[in-house]
Chain A
Amino acid sequence: MSVNAKQPVEEGHPMEELLRMDRSPHIWCPPCGLGTTVTALATALKQLQIDLNNVAVVSGIGCTGRVAGYMKVDSFHTTHGRAIPFALGLHIARPDMKVIVFSGDGDLISIGGNHFIHTARRNVDITVICVNNFIYAMTGGQVAPTTPITAKTSTSPYGNYEHPFNLPLLAASSGAVYVARWTALHVRRMTTAIKEAISKKGFSFVEVIAPCSTLYARLNKLGSGLDLMKFYHDNSVIKHGVDLREVDINYQSKVIVGKFIDIEKPTYLDCLNEGNKRVFGDKYKPYGGGNGDN
């Protein structure tokens, strides 16, 4: 490599408008799937031409929990597992804003599992993007509620023996109106899914299977992040609308991806307003919104 190479013309990063460039470099490992997923969200927001002032990102704790800190929108980095109820409060206070929860599998489904199912049950109009890397990465590679059986982690050193969650089935059976799963390899399809999820009225859920090279691949001798991407390439099977009982992920098995659920259902706020109107008629005073002006 020549040190005398011609310097490129200084021009802005294509995602400059959506990323906090003053926080670069980010903390993620080079072969991680998070960069791709964040780019998919940024691209989705750009393509949707949403007023970015009206978007908020809320994250919990973990590698994915750091996403809120890199997105250049109003963004909240909350406690472990609690991004969803924080987002619920924000959404109810500002129903005009698009509230997006971006967090990991351990955060959303283990410690935050109760919030996940109840917020889906209420059909609260938020979007949840769950980056599933099958492991607790930030804390050094412990077993997660998504770790496939026999996969090794630092706290399942002889191989995991617990049944993992099937996240699309969990989301759908809890009440989500939009459910999709893609891998970090499916950049365009993932971007489309995120666009659809953000546009969807109600609780929308996108699971993104993402490589953790530093921990999951290393502890299981699966090669690098690139090898995991190759694995997704060779083993992903697109099955839109499939029976969700069939989308379990086993160790190094086929990964079924696609858009699984896209239905219409009144949202939490629709139900709240309709329920009260039914009882109180014109006397009902719907919440007026916190506009930040007072």
Chain B
Amino acid sequence: MKADPSCVLTGAHYLDGNHACAEGGIAAGCKFFAGYPITPSTEIAERVSQRFPLIGGVFIQMEDELASMNAILGASWGGVKTMSCTSGPGFSLMMENFGLGIMLETPCVLVNVQRGGPSTGLPTLPGQADMMQARWGSHGDYEVIALAPDSPQESFELVIHAFNLSEKYRMPVLVMTDECVGHMTEKVVIPPAEEIELLERRYTDKKPGEAWPYDPSEDGISPMLPVGKGYKFHVTGLTHDNRGYPVINAEAQEWNVRRLMDKVNKHVDDIIWLVEKDIEDAEVVVLAYGISSRVVQPAIARARTEGIKVGQIKMVTVWPFPEKRVRELAEKVKAMIMVEMNYGQVFLEMDRCIAGKCRSRLVGHAGGTVHNPFDVYNAIKEAVK
């Protein structure tokens, strides 16, 4: 299905990453947004609150992030595409009910405009230190999908992509941007609505009385049941069976958790999106995501002018981690370098997958500013010594 032209601001704009996220959500057909003000994400909520009255959407500023996350889950079950945004402590507050979204298998999109932490940290300055929280922030075992845009243009595009993934895999999807991308203003080209492909929700084709909320399906993703149509279904955050009924034992737990993990793990080839450059002859590969994937580029360019064979992988999806690709490359290259605005989070996954097959390096820092490209350059030089 194509996007609704009345929601799409086709044309070339000068937007910051946060406004671009809002436009992405609106173009994707989001009609319910619940949020709570928090720097540096607030402009997303502001833009949505400004745009919604003319396009049939409801924006509500909730009493806190706990409420925001729950409200978008409730509205999603009501049949609407829903979204929220947050930063820093707000992300922590949302984690409980992000888990409910995972457990109920509820499509929605959550944008985290990352700032420096822990605690109140650096509200107005960037960080990428919520990456492991994105992966493991809610209690229990589950898989997530997290995307990391590197620009306002990509913020627009990846929020739409996140909506599509959330409908396809019937789960909340994270867009992990950061203060730098959120507040960076650049040209954003919004295409005509007919060029924006949207995935609509997959509802059961069975009749009421014959369908359950977690019926088995070939691809492991159960079609949803619509509310108000006589299915009279039940869903719960408790461990449940295919009927959505609570079952408190180890067998049900295995079935339930396994299905949440398989949903992502069996489709990693479809979900994982990497942009590779100069990998064929590379001796060193620099991995980065979000704003850091732009910051490394001058360092890579300079190293290449000096004859160092260095390639780059930009991770558009950070979770699920591109395990297979990293293992392949570790067999071929001398070193892999992770550049991220934290002291080693996604690096831990890279290091695990390299498993000693090549050198594994981290260029990290605590956040507050992007990397100095020279630090990346020096790490490349050191890695090929």
B contact residues around A85 at 8 Å (CB): 34, 62, 66-68, 70-71, 74
4 more A-B contacts (CB under 8 A) besides A93-B32, A287-B31? A69-B236, A85-B62, A86-B74, A289-B79
Q: How far is the CA of A82 from the CA of B72 in the complex (A)?
A: 12
Chain A, Cβ-Cβ closest to B34 = A89
- Interface residue stretch chosen among B147-155, B189-197, B226-234: B226-234
Whether A294 sits at the interface, judged by CB under 8 Å, is yes
- Interface residue stretch chosen among B51-59, B117-125, B280-288, B339-347: B51-59
Q: How far is the CA of A272 from the CA of B53 in the complex (A)?
A: 9
Within 8 A of A (CB), among B234-290: 234-238, 245-246
Do the beta carbons of B73 and A89 come within 8 Å of each other?
yes
**10 A–B contacts, CB within 8 A, in A order:** A20-B234, A23-B245, A53-B232, A77-B236, A79-B97, A86-B73, A91-B74, A114-B63, A292-B226, A294-B79
Task: Identify A79's interface contact among B70, B75, B201, CB under 8 A.
Answer: B70
Do the beta carbons of A292 and B227 come within 8 Å of each other?
yes
Q: How far is the CA of A75 from the CA of B225 in the complex (A)?
A: 12
Known contacts A77-B246, A92-B60, A285-B56, A82 near B97 by CB under 8 Å: yes
Whether A189 sits at the interface, judged by CB under 8 Å, is no
Total count of chain A residues near the partner, CB < 8 A: 52
A contact residues around B72 at 8 Å (CB): 89
Whether A284 sits at the interface, judged by CB under 8 Å, is yes
Do the beta carbons of A276 and B53 come within 8 Å of each other?
yes
Chain A, Cβ-Cβ closest to B225 = A74
Whether B200 sits at the interface, judged by CB under 8 Å, is yes
Closest 9 A/B residue pairs (Cβ): A93-B78, A290-B79, A89-B74, A292-B226, A89-B75, A77-B236, A89-B71, A85-B67, A86-B74
Max chain B Cβ within 10 angstroms of own Cβ: one of A53, A89, A91, A280? A89
Whether A226 sits at the interface, judged by CB under 8 Å, is no
Max chain B Cβ within 10 angstroms of own Cβ: one of A81, A93, A272? A93
B contact residues around A91 at 8 Å (CB): 74, 78
A contact residues around B200 at 8 Å (CB): 294
Q: B residues touching A (Cβ–Cβ < 8 Å)?
A: 31-32, 34, 53-58, 60, 62-64, 66-68, 70-80, 82, 96-97, 99-100, 104, 200-201, 203, 226-238, 245-246
Chain A, Cβ-Cβ closest to B231 = A74
Task: Identify A290's interface contact among B75, B237, B245, CB under 8 A.
Answer: B75
* Contact pattern, A 59-100, Cβ under 8 Å of B = 1, otherwise 0: 000000000110011111111011011111111111011000
B contact residues around A286 at 8 Å (CB): 56
A contact residues around B31 at 8 Å (CB): 287-288, 290
Do the beta carbons of B82 and A75 come within 8 Å of each other?
no
Known contacts A78-B70, A89-B72, A290 near B96 by CB under 8 Å: no
A contact residues around B227 at 8 Å (CB): 56, 74, 90, 94, 97, 292
Do the beta carbons of B203 and A292 come within 8 Å of each other?
yes
- What's the minimum C-beta distance from B285 to chain A, rounded to whole angstroms? 41
Whether A244 sits at the interface, judged by CB under 8 Å, is no
Max chain A Cβ within 10 angstroms of own Cβ: one of B68, B70, B229, B238? B70
A contact residues around B232 at 8 Å (CB): 52-53, 72-75
Chain A, Cβ-Cβ closest to B243 = A22
Whether A4 sits at the interface, judged by CB under 8 Å, is no
Chain A, Cβ-Cβ closest to B224 = A292
Whether A5 sits at the interface, judged by CB under 8 Å, is no
- What's the minimum C-beta distance from B55 to chain A, rounded to whole angstroms? 6
Max chain A Cβ within 10 angstroms of own Cβ: one of B71, B96, B237? B71
Q: How far is the CA of A94 from the CA of B227 in the complex (A)?
A: 9
A contact residues around B245 at 8 Å (CB): 22-23, 69
Q: How far is the CA of A118 from the CA of B60 in the complex (A)?
A: 12
Whether A261 sits at the interface, judged by CB under 8 Å, is no
Whether A128 sits at the interface, judged by CB under 8 Å, is no
Task: Identify B63's interface contact among A118, A284, A290, CB under 8 A.
Answer: A118
Chain B, Cβ-Cβ closest to A56 = B227
Whether A2 sits at the interface, judged by CB under 8 Å, is no
Q: How far is the CA of A84 from the CA of B74 in the complex (A)?
A: 10
Max chain A Cβ within 10 angstroms of own Cβ: one of B53, B66, B203? B53
B contact residues around A289 at 8 Å (CB): 79
Q: How far is the CA of A293 from the CA of B78 in the complex (A)?
A: 11
- What's the minimum C-beta distance from B84 to chain A, rounded to whole angstroms? 10
Chain B, Cβ-Cβ closest to A115 = B67
Do the beta carbons of B228 and A69 come within 8 Å of each other?
no
Q: How far is the CA of A69 from the CA of B53 in the complex (A)?
A: 36
- What's the minimum C-beta distance from B163 to chain A, rounded to whole angstroms? 14
Chain B, Cβ-Cβ closest to A124 = B60
Max chain B Cβ within 10 angstroms of own Cβ: one of A22, A69, A84, A280? A69
- What's the minimum C-beta distance from B229 to chain A, rounded to whole angstroms? 6
Known contacts A74-B227, A76-B235, A88 near B71 by CB under 8 Å: yes
- What's the minimum C-beta distance from A245 to chain B, rounded to whole angstroms? 25
Do the beta carbons of A86 and B71 come within 8 Å of each other?
yes
Chain A, Cβ-Cβ closest to B31 = A287
Q: How far is the CA of A287 from the CA of B201 in the complex (A)?
A: 18
Whether A283 sits at the interface, judged by CB under 8 Å, is yes
B contact residues around A79 at 8 Å (CB): 70, 96-97, 99-100, 237
Q: How far is the CA of A94 from the CA of B70 in the complex (A)?
A: 15
- What's the minimum C-beta distance from A85 to chain B, rounded to whole angstroms? 4
Q: How far is the CA of A86 from the CA of B226 in the complex (A)?
A: 16
Whether A9 sits at the interface, judged by CB under 8 Å, is no
Q: How far is the CA of A291 from the CA of B80 in the complex (A)?
A: 8
